[in-house]
A = this chain, B = another copy of it.
Amino acid sequence: MRDPVPSGDPGFADLGFARLDTHRAGRTGDPEVVYGSGKTPAQIVALLAALRSAHPDLAALATRLSDEAVAAVRDEFGAEVTVDELARCAWLGPVPEPRGRVCIVAAGTSDGPVAAEAAATARVHGAGVARIDDVGVAGLHRLLHVRADLDDADVLIVVAGMEGALPSVVGGLTGVPLVAVPTSTGYGTGAGGLAALLSMLNSCAPGVVVCNIDNGYGAGVFAARVARRAAPRDPVGQGEGGAHGARVV
């Protein structure tokens, strides 16, 4: 049996309140990430510093940050840190050169924060990212207008709340691998995102896979891994923008 960690190294850093998994990057290619929900600003700062120290060559990412956590992170790391306020994310350290392209498609404006979390995560995890927003199925021509951008991607993340129909429609238009993310927007029977989740799990389009409700982070990690494997393809050019309306981040 292969030993999961090198001998003589426990594979984690004991911070008292947490055992940071310092070996994760070695096993999976991606370092541990600070999930900010339920942690104090001080804990988040300490974990980011520990990650930064454990992996000098990799960016350290924190998600689900409160306003207080954002302020604490800015206080501690100053210009070194990048904050995306809509995404509630912050990162510091070297972001990898983009490999492959993740295209993030969002149905409505209220899906924006989840799409932004997915975009920040995918970019920090080493993929190029393009964005297509507000193309819900009630006005199909908006989606058809940017259809060529869909095929240009290595992997798609499709974010939608309400009835969550967008992944089925996109999945019928293209064979690019598609990760669907339901959001908790809506009300009544749609409150909490259950309708969108069930819709995506039961998509009649083949090959749609699904993340937890509002889990832009998980979709971003997964998509970046797919995109990096598909590189060095980059048909429309990183940093140049989509030929058909997609916005490159």
Question: Interface of A with B (CB < 8 Å)?
Answer: 1-5, 10-12, 17-19, 21, 23-24, 27-30, 32-33, 37-39, 43, 107-110, 112, 133-142, 144-145, 147-148, 154-155, 162-165, 168-169, 171-179, 182, 184-215, 217-219, 221-222, 225-226, 229-230, 233
Contacts and interface: CB of A to CB of B under 8 A. Distances in A.
Count of identical protomers in the assembly: 8
12 contacts: A1-B3, A18-B133, A39-B109, A43-B109, A140-B172, A162-B204, A188-B214, A190-B212, A195-B201, A206-B218, A206-B221, A209-B218
Contact of A141 (B12, B136, B206): B12
Contacts of A206: 28, 30, 33, 138, 217-218, 221
Nearest to A132: B19
Contact of A218 (B109, B208, B218, B233): B208
A21 B139 contact: yes
